[in-house]
Chains A and B, each alone.
Chain A
């Protein structure tokens, strides 16, 4: 099989059928949505009633990290599997260095120097804000991941510096840390994924911190590992 098959051109019948199918699906979904009760609040009231016991003040954070922590914990595993799958595709234990070190012009250079600290501060702020306002691990991780990516794209060394063990450790940190805390508490007699009320806030911050780092590295790993031809070029490092 060829590597880059052109996408076969679908005939007019397939196209017309696709349009009909799409319109029909839209119609069905629209009917269903119009049928819904617009006043319905779902579980919002239940969440607000018990948010005081959760250790945080922001309802989505309380739901994600405490009431339905099981979902979030497994979602972090989904992310880990996605990043790991990309590494399997490359058959690599670590990520390649930038193929060729470009020399960024003075403008780019200045911009990167300005943006990286800003991105880190923004990321940490988003993480911290998550306890009482929109924000949290996934958003913070995305911002910090973007900073790592910006470094890489402008010719600086970033993710390629990670040794195999560091890369694995970073990808695992969120899921494994979450699991370690939950398992320790579980062994000492708590319900699985239950936090001692006095410690709930602290545990949530620690878990979010670890998830942030894993999310950031996973995003970069997905971006870097998904590029097809980097591996053909020898790594160039140490120029900067």
Chain B
């Protein structure tokens, strides 16, 4: 049981490599087994941390500072649990999604499913010159999806468990490369351009982070997070390092104005990939940032810097939401919504930071509130992107203004979209409400009323773009002349299941919140779970 933290990294890697080695259509069987096992192991890890507290493991039997240690506290377990559940939902959806992409004997594969361009560009395996050649094996997007997706999942778990700032860099690199390969999976021009831009932005972020790691090692002589936290670093080098790492991670987490790469990358990928990118990958960089911010550079944060980051979050909420309202394509709308929702996460920084009384309980409230928001966004946004994928496969386009009347054909899809939207708005009883409520309470208690305003305005703006989609879908006059393609039921079921999770986690928030207390870097004397 105490080794489950290793298996949660090993199993997706083993299954990913097996899917690589096998190739072809059978790779999805291995991928599914991997998804199921990783989900179970993630659950076991959560249970283990819940029962026995913080888990620490010395790799290779070498003690820190010589070796690398793994560590799972409540925060790690919380995010691994989220990744496990969202990941399983995405995997089950992807089985059917990529099945439809596999070129059959008679049909044109690119007609059945389009990723996101909706402009009739060349897509699918049809234009692949290599497919004809070689005789033995044809290139299938699905055959590459499963190994890459398993590696991406593993790299998220690597990131959440690592306790070493250099190893975290390696985890970030794995995450970036797996994401880029997945974005370009269908080789559409738009996706390749977006993927390359994403690669360059993400590498810039990684390099800034790595430069920071080098400076910290030169200054402190250790790489272990625990040792660094105890070292009370205050030198110029450490401050510069902190700044570089923060900027690099803000770029990867896509906080305004460093979000420029996100909408194109997240919207042009295949639907199961878009869902993973927005729901999970962005959270990876965010996780690392708050880990460092509140545990390693604790003393370095000043009120003005924190307020500035919160301010960028506020601008992200307003600009991202307005951009989302303006979009004509559903996938782009959802991607801009991610820009706005990432803004909420960073409101946590000034609220949980060094403003006011250092012993106050509002810090922990803001920290858990932000993380709960990340959780609810994970489920809700995955559901939304998968819903857009269903509409895109069925209708062949995702133009918002041409969805009129489609609710009668896809009642469950729009119901799920509405539920997920509720969670993004922060309406009770969704999980989004719990997160927002905790952040609001923290803002009121700490007297930072300006964040109250932005949190409320953000909810209204979110309601705006969700309402546009739903009001179009619920119109009487049907815009569609052609019969939609049939969409496998399992895809619809997964869209609904993920949306339902974002609701259920609002009804039952006590346990996840209590989980976050384990090893939390804050005073948690005052229980905040009475709500």
**Chain A residues near B (Cβ < 8 Å):** 1, 3, 28-29, 31-33, 35-37, 40-43, 46-47, 50, 66-71, 74-75, 77-78, 81-82, 84-85, 87-94, 96, 163-165, 168-169, 172, 175-176, 179, 183, 186, 190-195, 231-232, 235
Contact = CB atoms under 8 A, between A and B. Distances in A.
B59 A192 contact: yes
Nearest to A69: B60
Closest 3 CB pairs of A and B: A92-B130, A32-B240, A85-B181
Given A36-B237, A91-B125, A179-B17, A67 B66 contact: yes
A5 to B, nearest CB: 9
B174 to A, nearest CB: 6
B59 A191 contact: yes
B181 A88 contact: yes
Given A71-B166, A74-B171, A176-B17, A35 B236 contact: yes
Interface residues of B, number: 66
A92 B66 CA distance: 42
Best-buried of A47, A92, A93, A164 by chain B (most CB within 10 Å):
A93
Interface in B109-145: 125, 128-131, 133-134, 136-139, 144
Contacts of B68: 68, 70-71
Contact of B66 (A28, A50, A232): A50
Contacts of A77: 13, 151, 174
B65 interface: yes
Contacts of B211: 29
Given A90-B130, A192-B6, A85 B184 contact: yes
A77 B181 CA distance: 13
Contacts of A163: 134, 136
Contacts of A195: 60
B187 A183 contact: no
26 contacts: A31-B240, A32-B239, A33-B215, A33-B218, A40-B221, A42-B218, A43-B65, A67-B67, A68-B166, A69-B59, A70-B59, A71-B68, A78-B173, A81-B151, A81-B177, A85-B177, A88-B148, A89-B184, A96-B133, A164-B137, A179-B13, A183-B10, A190-B61, A192-B3, A192-B59, A194-B60
Interface in B21-60: 21, 23, 57-60
A179 B12 CA distance: 12
Contacts of B166: 68, 71
B189 to A, nearest CB: 5
Contacts of A85: 177, 180-181, 184
B400 interface: no
Nearest to B212: A32
Interface in B156-170: 158, 166-167, 170
A74 B158 contact: yes
B185 interface: yes
B23 A93 contact: yes
Given A93-B130, A93-B137, A186-B6, A192 B221 contact: no
B509 interface: no
B295 interface: no
Given A89-B192, A164-B136, A193-B60, A42 B217 contact: yes
Contacts of A164: 23, 134, 136-137
Interface string B444-477: 0000000000000000000000000000000000
B260 interface: no
B142 to A, nearest CB: 12
B23 A191 contact: no
Interface string B208-243: 000100010111011000000000000111011101
Contacts of A172: 17, 20-21
Contacts of B131: 91
A232 B129 contact: yes
A217 to B, nearest CB: 14
Given A71-B170, A194-B60, A91 B148 contact: no
B258 interface: no
B14 A29 contact: no
B100 interface: no
Contact of B14 (A35, A169, A183): A183
Contact of A168 (B20, B66, B129): B20
